[in-house]
Amino acid sequence: MRDTIRFLKGGKIVELEDVGPTETLLDYLRLRRRETGTKEGCGEGDCGACTVALGRIVDGRLVYLPVNSCIQLLGMIDGAELVTVEDLAEDNRLHPVQSAMVELHGSQCGFCTPGFVMSLFTLYHAEGKEKSRKTVTDWLAGNLCRCTGYRPIVDAALEACFDAADDAFSWRAKDTREQLRVLSDGSDVFIGDSDRFFSAPATLDGLAALYSQHPDATLVSGATDVGLWITKQLREFPKVIWLGRVEGLDRVEESPSGVLIGATATYQATEQAMTGISADLGELWRRIGSKQVRASGTVGGNIANGSPIGDTPPALIALGATLELSSAESSRALPIEDFFIEYGKQDRQSGEFVTGLFVPRLSANQAFRCYKISKRFDQDISSVMAAVRLTADEEGTVTEARIAYGGMAGTPKRATAAEAALTGASLEDPSTWGPAMQALLSDFTPMTDMRASAEYRMETARALLAKALMEMSGTAPEQVRVLARRETGNDRAA
């Protein structure tokens, strides 16, 4: 067992033994290292001013991903290369991304500039990207600028980020990979004592044993939710168990029957597999948070925290996904909708934790649609999330319906009355859809809050079900989707 965290910075291995359970990476950089190039803005992973890059070995390749250091716990960078804006210039020469930002006037007040530069640094090193403004705007959706305007920043990205990487980080990539392999020692990490600690087990058995001893500990995967509990709610978590080092818990395994997703698999790591199940799922995944959020946030964490407005649960419920739970004594599986009992309460026993889920593929006679409605298109929380999976016979008669919503109740919930009303309806005859629309009134009693009124939510829920039925009956998506009209030719919108 190791009582330190270790990471790489500036080509040197850093080892820390004084790591608080909830100390953030941003506080470490600004307060301890006095590296103030990384800025503190929103403190909730929304503005991108605090963006840094983490380098890790993925399938034998060195991959740099952007993260929000304000909600990334310091202990979570164990085994990674940490790159901040101070690390980019080499021998007094600006990095190509920095040079492009200067030459194309991509900065005015400069507060947001380090975050933009670090996001573009990860784009600069990304593989397989298509050179387009859309690629750049997707990559920068998590970085906000209030004075420069995005055009010169996007121009700088197009100028600098789409040729082969040729910087100090690419030159020494082989050495970096070797140093990261040395850091990957497979040891359990435990810093602190039995009353206050940061821990990162390396095996599933180690996690189960530790959590059984400390069932009051807070489990952390990507910290994109827990991080806000710390920075915004100012909650104290004396015991933190980070799941990111548990071997195999980040698995993404595709098979003809479906996709098995480990509890610590990130949105980014699962996006391609989800797109393979449905283009709608791929579009939903793309709209979850930002690049920074998707690089850290996990599907398992989105489920385990049980938010009634989480994006993934309604889609997974409609698809009939199965959740896996484990403890030191046993393991079990259950339909994902049964995991959500009531607001703030899930079917999880003391010492039990989510290990993964299985998402089945659609059969030939099934159709699936999902829609996210939010005030902002990118990086916003859903007002209403809807997902529909229908099974129909050769005549177009619905033989089974699974309809799930988020934002309509205290938990992600199936619309069972609407499902029953839709069974036996004809996809070819819109006059048979009315009872299902009416049944939604008995399925849900939504609330009014800052995101939407109860009336808006109900009308939107009914409209989204109608939209799904129209598309499944053969109406072209571009006739009913703003996105499809706005991004003609983007097959993810179809």
Give the mean model confidence (pLDDT) for residues 414-427: 97
- Give the confidence band of 384 by pLDDT, cuts at 50, 70, 90: very high
> Cβ neighbours of residue 300 under 8 Å, at least 6 residues apart?
221, 261, 262, 263, 264, 265, 354, 355, 356, 357
7 neighbors 14 (Cβ within 8 angstroms): yes
Query: Is the pLDDT confidence value at 167 over 70?
Result: yes
- The 3-class SS string of 232-286 reads CCCCCCCEEEECCCCCCCCCEEEECCEEEEECCCEHHHHHHHHHHHCHHHHHHHH
Give the mean model confidence (pLDDT) for residues 202-210: 97
> Cβ neighbours of residue 387 under 8 Å, at least 6 residues apart?
314, 315, 317, 318, 319, 368, 369, 370, 371, 403, 404, 405
Show the tokens assigned to 137.
């705007």
Q: What percent of the chain has pLDDT over 90?
A: 90
Chain centre to alpha carbon of residue 48 = 15
Model pLDDT, residue 491: 36
Model pLDDT, residue 486: 41
The superfamily CATH assigns to domain 1-187+222-236 is: Beta-grasp domain (3.10.20.30)
Query: Is the pLDDT confidence value at 487 over 80?
Result: no
Q: What is the mean pLDDT of the chain?
A: 94
Q: What residue spans define the domains of the chain?
A: 1-187+222-236, 252-493
Model pLDDT, residue 483: 56
Model pLDDT, residue 344: 86
Query: Is the pLDDT confidence value at 94 over 90?
Result: yes
* Residue recorded with tokens 């036996």: 424
Query: Is the pLDDT confidence value at 494 over 60?
Result: no
- Give the confidence band of 489 by pLDDT, cuts at 50, 70, 90: very low
Query: Is the pLDDT confidence value at 18 over 70?
Result: yes
The tens digit of pLDDT for each residue in 116-133 reads: 999 999 999 999 999 999
Give the mean model confidence (pLDDT) for residues 53-60: 95
Query: Is the pLDDT confidence value at 5 over 90?
Result: yes
Model pLDDT, residue 31: 97
Model pLDDT, residue 490: 43
Model pLDDT, residue 92: 87
The tens digit of pLDDT for each residue in 171-191 reads: 999 999 999 999 999 999 999
Show the tokens assigned to 344.
């703030």
Query: Is the pLDDT confidence value at 307 over 90?
Result: no
Q: What percent of the chain has pLDDT over 70?
A: 97
Number of other CB atoms surrounding residue 404 within 10 Å: 25
Tell me the pTM. Answer: 0.93
Distance between CA atoms of 70 and 50, rounded to whole angstroms?
6
The tens digit of pLDDT for each residue in 129-152 reads: 999 999 999 999 999 998 998 999
Model pLDDT, residue 385: 96
The tens digit of pLDDT for each residue in 254-271 reads: 999 999 999 999 999 999
Sign of dihedral through CA atoms 437, 441, 445, 447?
positive
**Amino acid occupying residue 50:** C
Query: Is the pLDDT confidence value at 217 over 80?
Result: yes
Query: Is the pLDDT confidence value at 416 over 80?
Result: yes
Distance between CA atoms of 22 and 271, rounded to whole angstroms?
29
| CATH topology assigned to domain 252-493 | Enolase-like; domain 1 (3.30.390)
197: helix, strand or coil = strand
C-alpha closest to that of 95 among 107, 87, 106: 87
Q: Do domains 1-187+222-236 and 252-493 have the same CATH topology?
A: no
